[in-house]
A and B are shown apart, each in its own frame.
Chain A
Amino acid sequence: MDIKREDIKHLAELSEFSLSDAEIDSLQGDLQGIIGYISQLDELDTDNVEPTYQVFEMENVWREDEILPQEADREALLALTKETKDNQIKVPKVL
């Protein structure tokens, strides 16, 4: 399939990237190549085959519903962010 500039812009939006024109150009070529390659799966007959999403052998790992002591407290976590106010993370204006 043909990947257009508009497709790259759409994917950039889904991915939350602000791309320059030069980046859009190079990603268009790169993604065209990669999608071309992965499209070879078309050849593979997968009729009546169930999908596999994980290869972990077990199901339903249960635990008690209780709060255990945590390594990092609120203060340690808030210390990781750029700016805080009143014990909360401060971000630029939303609207």
Chain B
Amino acid sequence: MKIANKKVTAERLVKDALAKAKHFEDYHIFTFIDEEGALERAREIDKRIAAGEKVGRLAGVPYALKDNFLSPRGETTASAHILEGFTAPVTATAVKRLEDEGAIMIGRTNLDAFAHGSSTENSYFGPTLNSHDRERVAGGSSGGSAVAVALDIVEFATGTDTGGSIRQPASFNGIYGLKPTYGTVSRYGVVAMASSTDCIGFFTKTPDDMDLLMSVAAGRDPKDMTTLPDYYNEDDSQTDLSSTSLTRSRLYGARSLRTASEPSGTRSRKDCLRIGIIKEFDNESVHPEIRRALKEKCELLKKKGHEIVELEMPALKYGLAAYYILVPAEVASNLSRHDGVRYGFRSEKAVDMDSMYGETRSEGFMPENKRRIMIGNFVLSSGFYDAYFLKAAKARTLIVEEYAKAFEKCDFILTPVSPNPAFKLGEKVNDPVAMYLEDVMSVSLNLAGVPGLAIPAGETPEGISLGLQLVGPRRSDKALLEFAKELE
């Protein structure tokens, strides 16, 4: 990515990004553009560069912020009416780390309200359009962020991934999107969806850019007790071996990959990895173009000396049902805080406490928010708890175990992100189950806490982007990014 220096000023970089944001205004990418603030920060950085002062690793790099990250710059709405008017009094740790290195937020991006959705059509502000085909969805929930990077408005954008919300829009727009290992990047200051699966990650145009962002953002945060020690920036030899389910691939993969860019002829046997293909996700239910892309990448890997192994992971097909029980349960709990009392929108119809809660929440939430909250309260209610919530939590165990077993047989897994490429606007938005089915290949990673990287995989003959995801064991994020270069 372009970093500001004495020749290329931060002001120039920011002005270019702002001009492009304006040019693509009708894609509905941004919920807020901070023209004045971004330029002001750019000029400060330029002054420091001119004075020969040390500037950060992301000096003057314009970026887009998914509108569920708290920062006092602009309202944090999560694309929901109920948060309208909310200017955050705190800054998310991820935002702080990026900006401490000199990154400049030019605007906040559109999402499905509260990140509930797979198309960005559930936004209070209307849908974002796909970067390659304006009649199609951007994917979601981080649709605005994906399109901002795909249209080259910004060098990178932030995202959140609870069940695919980074990887799916990345693949719908032909860019890289990383959902890190659970706990890698602090969730402090990010609007909570489902605390046990929410992950903070990024959209970029290259694996190297992603690596740079991760090295900035990863690490323990005293404000988020579920952050891991900074394994990402540690040398392998210093990694705390006792605290993780360390598999052969993590160490082996990360070490051997350092030489993986050498021509295959000179590659020794230990540099060849085993890549798993999930049998259950390579059948007629998957779009033929996605299957073709998967096959092509497998051929490429074989040519480079890697081995393809077929995996049977029968529990994964229950991942979606388990996800749509566990996540709504956490959503119902997390979203109970939006009540019109302390911040955000309060209904004009509020005459007493009951009507303040009821009317505020009815007017403030989108239909999909209501569905998820009600499903959550259903699966948690007495009489249904054992049959749904507890059952799903047990299914989650089977999924975690299935990934652990898979990574005994292979180093990484290569699989589609979703069964179909970007669908038409309006095609699924009124059919929640049809929309949920688009998440069938992405959600199980979140339930297991393993990292997944969406990688571009060409286009359909009609020019619609295709993507695949590389999945690794926990804490293999860096090796995953390194290996992604093999697939370029």
* Residues in A lying within 8 Å of B, measured CB to CB: 8, 11-12, 14-19, 23, 26-27, 30-31, 33-44, 46, 49-58, 61, 63, 71-72, 76-77, 79-82, 89, 91-94
Contacts and interface: CB of A to CB of B under 8 A. Distances in A.
Chain B interface residue number, banded: 35 or more
B222 A63 contact: yes
A74 to B, nearest CB: 10
Nearest to B345: A82
Given A38-B388, A71-B90, A57 B244 contact: yes
A16 B432 contact: no
Given A11-B378, A41-B318, A93-B353, 9 more contacts: A11-B381, A34-B433, A34-B436, A38-B379, A41-B325, A41-B395, A49-B397, A80-B343, A92-B351
Contacts of B400: 52, 55
Contacts of A14: 374, 377, 381
Interface string B375-392: 101110100000110111
A91 B90 CA distance: 24
A37 B324 contact: yes
A26 B449 CA distance: 34
Nearest to B448: A55
A94 B353 contact: yes
Contact of B341 (A11, A71, A91): A91
B322 interface: yes
A31 B377 CA distance: 12
A15 B377 contact: yes
Given A16-B339, A18-B359, A44 B315 contact: yes
Contact of B397 (A30, A52, A56): A52
A1 to B, nearest CB: 9
B226 interface: yes
A17 B346 CA distance: 13
A16 B343 CA distance: 17
A81 to B, nearest CB: 5
B243 A80 contact: no
Contacts of B436: 34, 37
B321 A40 contact: yes
B238 to A, nearest CB: 17
Contacts of A37: 320-321, 324, 433, 436
A55 B395 contact: no
Contacts of B362: 17-19, 23
Nearest to A90: B341
A15 to B, nearest CB: 5
A53 B392 CA distance: 10
B245 A57 contact: yes
Contacts of A41: 318, 321-322, 325, 388, 391-392, 395
A12 B370 CA distance: 9
B332 interface: yes
Nearest to B86: A80
